[in-house]
Amino acid sequence: MDGPLFVGRKEIDAKFSPEAQIALHQGDSLEFSKTLPNNSISLVITSPPYNLGKDYEDRASIEQYLQEQAILIRQLHRVLRADGSICWQVGNYVEDGEIYPLDILYYDIFKKIGFKLRNRIIWRFGHGLHASKRFSGRYETILWFTKSDSYVFNLDSIRVPSKYPGKRHYKGEKRGLPSGNPLGKNPSDVWEVMAQDWEAGIWDIPNVKSNHPEKTEHPCQYPIELVERCVLALTNEQDWVFDPYAGVGTSLLGSIMHNRRAMGCDKEQNYVDIAYQRINNYFDGKLGYRKLGTPVFQPTGKEKVAQVPREWSNLPYPNAMQTPLLEDKSEYDT
Per residue, what are the HEC states of the chain? Answer: CCCCCCCCCCCCECCCCCCCCEEEEECCHHHHHCCCCCCCEEEEEECCCCCCCCCCCCCCCHHHHHHHHHHHHHHHHHHEEEEEEEEEEECEEEECCEEEEHHHHHHHHHHHHCCEEEEEEEEECCCCCCCCCCCCCCEEEEEEEECCCCCCCCHHHHCECCCCCCCECCCCCCCCCECCCCCCECCCCCCCCCHHHHCCCCEECCCCCCCCCCCCCCCCCCCHHHHHHHHHHHCCCCCEEEECCCCCCHHHHHHHCCCCEEEEEECCHHHHHHHHHHHHHHHCCCCCCCCCCCCCCCCCCCCHHHCCCHHHCCCCCHHHHCCCCCCCHHHCCC
For range 276-287, the mean pLDDT: 90
Calculate the average pLDDT of the chain: 79
Q: Among 23-32, 122-131, 301-310, 319-328, whose mean pLDDT is lowest? A: 319-328
pLDDT at 184: 76
pLDDT at 118: 96
What is the chain's length?
Answer: 334
pLDDT tens digits for 134-156?
A: 776 677 899 999 999 999 999 88
pLDDT at 293: 54
- 19 has a pLDDT exceeding 50: yes
Q: Among 51-65, 250-264, 312-326, whose mean pLDDT is lowest? A: 312-326
Residue 53 pLDDT class (50, 70, 90 cuts): low
pLDDT at 183: 77
For range 304-326, the mean pLDDT: 57
pLDDT at 84: 98
Could you tell me if 22 and 11 are in contact, meaning their C-beta atoms sit under 8 angstroms apart? yes
* Rg for the chain, CA atoms, rounded: 21
pLDDT at 163: 74
Share of the chain above pLDDT 70, in %: 69
- 307 has a pLDDT exceeding 80: no
Q: How far apart are CA 206 and CA 188, in angstroms?
A: 19
Give the chain's domains with CATH numbers: 22-296 (3.40.50.150), 302-334 (no CATH)
Q: How far is CA 85 from CA 20, 24, 80, 270, 324, in A?
A: 21, 20, 7, 29, 41
Q: Among 232-241, 251-260, 300-309, whose mean pLDDT is lowest? A: 300-309
pLDDT tens digits for 88-124?
A: 999 888 778 888 889 999 999 999 999 999 999 988 7
